[in-house]
Amino acid sequence: FTSGRLDTQGKLSFKYGFIESRIKMPAGSGNWPAFWMLGDNINQVGWPYSGEMDIVEIHSDRQSITTSATHFSSTDTPNKCCGNARFVFDEVAVGIDVSSDFHTYAIEWKKNSITFIVDGRVTGTFSSADTGSRGWVYNQKFFLILNLAMGGTYAGEYIDPMLNQAQLHVDYIRFYSVNGVGKVFKG
């Protein structure tokens, strides 16, 4: 099985603004598609200190549900797996099979807050108050990742992996500043 990943690490970074992608998710079980972001400083401080923003992920065996999440450190131990990360996520019943058509997944990212949006509908908001004493790692530059992993936590069980020719269709990825706030940085 082969997983695929595209990212902008070292090429483009973003800080604040509105970021969206129009995606048709793959059909079938055993897939773990995601559109997400990691802090530019991941190679220096490690995960989860770098922070992670999951704009959208789906459970491939639950095609009408999307999730979005933020990951951050819950201890002062970078690069130590596991138990040092905390995540806050929202699970949204879209109401239709997300592999049957394109849907738009977005974040509106401001200083000290991140709002998750599916098809123009706010599905959750995360703010600096949610991280407590661990601090807010989301006021720095992040890079984008778009991937289709095979297997994993959200992939669901393989019904017939030999027949699964999963495809993640991406129409576009767009960035906008919001009221002049938000910037793209070239690598």
Q: How far apart are CA 141 and CA 13, in angstroms?
A: 6
The tokens for 65 are: 């549900």
Asked whether the beta carbons of 60 and 78 are under 8 A apart, the reply is: no
Q: One of 57, 91, 108, 157 is an active-site residue; which one?
A: 57
Let me know if 20 is a catalytic residue: no
Cis peptide before 82 (omega within 30 of 0): yes
Indicate the burial class of 129 (C-beta count within 10 angstroms; 0-12, 13-18, 19 or more).
exposed
Per annotation, catalytic residue among 20, 52, 91, 157: 52
Asked about 157 being catalytic, the answer comes back as no
- The catalytic residue positions are 52, 57
